[in-house]
Chains A and B, each alone.
Chain A
C-alpha cells in the first residue's frame, strides 16, 4: 500500500539520523571497537567473567592493553570532555584480565583449512592480530621475526616495569593454540630473501615495525654516549642494562618513548636523569600519566630547550650539552618548525638518548616503495601494495600505538583473505568500522550526572619503584574496580525508548521501526495504531524527530485505503462513540444573552 510522501520523507529522516545505534565515544575511538561500555557495565555488576568474554571478542591482549594501551577511548570519554576525568578504561581491562582471563575459555576454533599459506613478517601486535585472523579464516599463518622473542615493540620498546614479559608470553600462547607457526630469529633479507619468502607463501603481510632509531644532525653527535631510544630500550629490555649509558643521562624528546627512556634510565642505575624537550611543558605530546609518573620519579624536565651542540671530553665521551632556547615549536599552520632564540645554557651529562622518532627498515629488498619514516606506500583502506600478494600492517603502514597496529593487522588480514579467495578487496567493506572514527552520538548528559573523580591506581612509591623492573602499578582492587566502573555514563541515545513503551515492543530504537518500514514498504497497522501520540519521544529526542506525527500520518493512509474506516477491530466502538458524540441526542448549542 502506498503512503503519502511525508511518511516516507519523515521515515527516511528518522532512519538516517536516529542515534539509537550510534557507537559510544569510547567504542568509536577504539580502532578495534572493543565494547567498552558493555564490559565496564559487567565489571560494575560484578560479572568479571562476562566482562572478560566481552573483551576477548575483540582483543587477544587484554592484560597487555590494560597496562600499556595509549587508550584513545579515554581521550574520547564523555567524562573527559565534560570534566577532564575520563573513565580508567585500560586499568579496568587489566583488572578483568588479571581476575578472569582463563586459557580454558579462549576460543581456539579456526576456519576450515584453505590450503593457503601466509607469511607474516613481525611478531608485534599487528603481525599477531593478522595471524590470528588468517587462522580464523582457515589459512596457514607463519610469523617470521628477527628477534627470538615475541611481542615486537611491546617487548623491546615498552619497558618491562610497564609490561611484564610473562604477560606477553601468556597472551601470545593464544596464537600457538590457534596453530600459528613461528620462525623466530629469522631476518628477512638476510636469512631468507623476500623473493624466496613470497615464493614459499601465497601472500605476505609486512608488519616489521619501526625499530630503527635515529640521531638528528646535531653537532657533536659522534661522541661516545650518544644513542637513540630504539637501541637503548631494546638493550635494556633484553638485558636490563646498557653498554652505552653512564650515570648522568639526558633524554631528548617529549613523547611517551622519551618518558620510557628516562624512567628506564633510573632503573639501570642512573644518578641523574634529565629530559630535554623542544615543547613547553603544556605542549608535551606524552600522555598525562607518563608525564606525571616521570615527575614522581624525579626526572628533571627541561622544557623549551633545543640541543645545540654535544661537547665531548678528552676521551671522546659526552661531557656537556649546550642547549638553545626554543621560542616556538610549530608555525601558524601547526607545522613542526622550531624557532630558536639567542639564550643558551649548558648541562652536564655523560649520555644522550635521542627519542625523536623511529623508522621502518625495508625488508622487501626495495620492492615496495617507502615514504616518510620508511612507511610503505599502501592503499590506506586495504593496506594493499603495488604487489598483489603483499600487504602491510602496523608501524610499517603508519600506525602509532599498539591498538592501532592491531586494527591495521586485522585490516591487512582481511585484504589478504580476500586476495586468497580471489575476491574484490574493497567491495562491501565498511572501512569506517575498520579503524577509529568519531561517533555522531550527541546526547545531553544523563540527569543527575556528577563530576566523580577518577580512581587512581595503586602505584608503588616512586623512590622504591625507580630502582627495579618490577611492575610499578599494582592494579585495582575489587572495590576500586567497581567504584571506577560505576562512573561510566553508558553513553547512548535511547532517550525516546526510555519514554515510550510502545516502540520497545517493535524495536530497539526508531531506526529499527522506520528502517524496517522503508525496507518493506509496509507496516503492520498495529504499530502506528499503538502510538499514544503523546509527543514524549519528540520531546526527549535530541533531533526533535517527528515520530508520533509520522505514525499519525500513516494512520491517515490506512483510513484512506480502508474505506474511511480504521483497520483495527477494536476501533469499531470508537467510531460508534464518535457518531453518538455528534448526534442530536447528545449535542446542543445555546446562545447566551438576550
Chain B
C-alpha cells in the first residue's frame, strides 16, 4: 500500500483574503509532507449553488483533472465548501480538512502557547455547511487552546450553527435579507471578537461590526489583544481580492517547487 499523496487547495475566498496565510500554511504542511502538491482553483460550489448543474459538472471535472494530473488522492482543504463539494462529488479524491489534520500533526513549536497572555475571549463561528462535522469543530477549539486563546461557546455553536449570511449566493440576490442574516448571526455572540474558519464568513461578520479573525490570522499572525482591530474586509474590495488571489496562485507554485 502506498502512502497517500497529499495536496493543498486554498479554494477561493481564503486566497483572495490572505496570500500570507496560504503561504505559511503551505510551508508548514510541506515540512510535514515534503511531496505536497498544490492546486489553486475554485471547487465550483458557487456554480452549484446557483443551480447550474451542467456547468458545475464541467467545472468540477476540470478540477478533478487537475488533481489527477498531479497525482493527488487526498486534498487538504481549508474551506468547508471545498471539503463538502469534493467529498460529495469526487469518486477518487478525498478532501481532508486542515482543521482535523492540524490536531494530528500538531502546531509548530513557535506558535504553541503564544497567546496565553491574551485578554481576548473569542466566540467561535462554526460554518453551517459543516454543522455535523464535530471533529472539524473540535479541531478549531484545539487550535485555539494550543495557541493559548480562551473561547466562549454560544447556544448556536457546533451543530446549531447559523448561516453568516453569505450562504446560498443570496448576497447578490437579496441583499437586504443577507444583511439581516448577518446581523442576526452577529447577535448570537456576546464577545465582539469572533474567530471563523471560512474567509467568506469572516467578511460577513466584519460587515456588521464584529471583530472577526480567520483562524489562520491567529495561527500565523500577531497575538490579538483587547482593543486590537481585526484585519480589514478585503473581500469587499474586488480589485484587492483578485490581486490577492493571483498572489496566492504564485504562492502555491513557489511553495510546492521550493
Contact A534 B129 (CB under 8 A): yes
Contact B37 A590 (CB under 8 A): yes
- What residues of chain A lie closer than 8 Å to B175, measured between beta carbons? 570
Contact B54 A564 (CB under 8 A): yes
- What residues of chain A lie closer than 8 Å to B171, measured between beta carbons? 570
- What residues of chain B lie closer than 8 Å to A591, measured between beta carbons? 37, 69-71, 256
Smallest CB-CB separation from A573: which chain B residue? B172
Contact B174 A529 (CB under 8 A): yes
Contact A589 B131 (CB under 8 A): no
Contact B131 A539 (CB under 8 A): yes
Stretch at the interface among B87-95, B157-165, B216-224, B225-233: B157-165
Q: How far is the CA of A505 from the CA of B181 in the complex (A)?
A: 12
Contact B172 A568 (CB under 8 A): yes
Interface check A336, CB cutoff 8 A: no
Q: How far is the CA of A573 from the CA of B175 in the complex (A)?
A: 13
Q: How far is the CA of A534 from the CA of B204 in the complex (A)?
A: 14
| Count of residues in A whose CB is under 8 Å from the partner chain | 46
CB interface residues, B 123-179, toward A, < 8 Å: 128-129, 131, 155, 159-163, 165-175, 177
CB interface residues, A 93-143, toward B, < 8 Å: none
Contact A588 B53 (CB under 8 A): no
Q: How far is the CA of A147 from the CA of B100 in the complex (A)?
A: 83
Interface check A348, CB cutoff 8 A: no
Smallest CB-CB separation from B50: which chain A residue? A566
CB interface residues, A 544-560, toward B, < 8 Å: 548, 552, 554-560
Q: How far is the CA of A424 from the CA of B38 in the complex (A)?
A: 76
Q: How far is the CA of A384 from the CA of B208 in the complex (A)?
A: 65
Contact A593 B246 (CB under 8 A): no
Given the interface pairs A505-B177, A588-B38, the reply to whether A533 lies near B49 with Cβ below 8 Å is yes
Interface check B66, CB cutoff 8 A: yes
- What residues of chain B lie closer than 8 Å to A585, measured between beta carbons? 246
Contact with A along B4-42 (1 / 0, CB 8 A): 010100001000000000000000001001111111111
Q: How far is the CA of A581 from the CA of B245 in the complex (A)?
A: 9
Contact with B along A484-506 (1 / 0, CB 8 A): 00000000000000010110010
Contact among B70, B162, B181 for A590, CB-based, below 8 A: B70
Interface check B59, CB cutoff 8 A: yes
Q: How far is the CA of A574 from the CA of B56 in the complex (A)?
A: 13
Min distance, Cβ A563 to any Cβ of chain B, angstroms: 11
Contact B70 A536 (CB under 8 A): no
CB interface residues, A 265-320, toward B, < 8 Å: none
Min distance, Cβ A479 to any Cβ of chain B, angstroms: 31
- What residues of chain B lie closer than 8 Å to A505, measured between beta carbons? 177
Contact with A along B68-80 (1 / 0, CB 8 A): 0111000000000
Contact A530 B163 (CB under 8 A): no
Contact A581 B42 (CB under 8 A): yes
- What residues of chain B lie closer than 8 Å to A556, measured between beta carbons? 51, 53
Contact among A571, A574, A589 for B69, CB-based, below 8 A: A589
Contact among B37, B55, B163 for A532, CB-based, below 8 A: B163
Interface check A449, CB cutoff 8 A: no
Contact A534 B50 (CB under 8 A): no
Interface check B103, CB cutoff 8 A: no
Contact B162 A534 (CB under 8 A): yes
Contact A582 B42 (CB under 8 A): yes
Contact among B37, B50, B168 for A592, CB-based, below 8 A: B37
Interface check B253, CB cutoff 8 A: yes
Interface check A535, CB cutoff 8 A: yes
Contact A588 B252 (CB under 8 A): yes
Min distance, Cβ A190 to any Cβ of chain B, angstroms: 70
Smallest CB-CB separation from B52: which chain A residue? A559
Contact among B42, B54, B163, B170 for A578, CB-based, below 8 A: B42
Contact B49 A590 (CB under 8 A): no
Q: How far is the CA of A530 from the CA of B163 in the complex (A)?
A: 12
Q: How far is the CA of A557 from the CA of B173 in the complex (A)?
A: 17
Interface check A526, CB cutoff 8 A: yes
- What residues of chain B lie closer than 8 Å to A564, measured between beta carbons? 52, 54-55
Interface check B47, CB cutoff 8 A: yes
Interface check A180, CB cutoff 8 A: no
Smallest CB-CB separation from B43: which chain A residue? A581
Contact A592 B242 (CB under 8 A): no
Min distance, Cβ A589 to any Cβ of chain B, angstroms: 4
CB interface residues, A 55-107, toward B, < 8 Å: none
- List the 7 shortest-distance A-B pairs measured between CB atoms, nearest first: A555-B51, A570-B172, A581-B42, A593-B35, A534-B163, A532-B167, A592-B37
- Additional A-B contact list (15), CB under 8 Å, known A571-B169, A578-B47, A591-B70: A501-B180, A502-B177, A526-B173, A533-B49, A534-B162, A534-B163, A558-B51, A566-B52, A580-B242, A585-B246, A587-B40, A588-B41, A590-B70, A590-B257, A592-B70
Could you jot down 7 A-B contacts, CB within 8 Å?
A: A501-B177, A501-B181, A534-B128, A534-B162, A539-B131, A581-B41, A582-B42
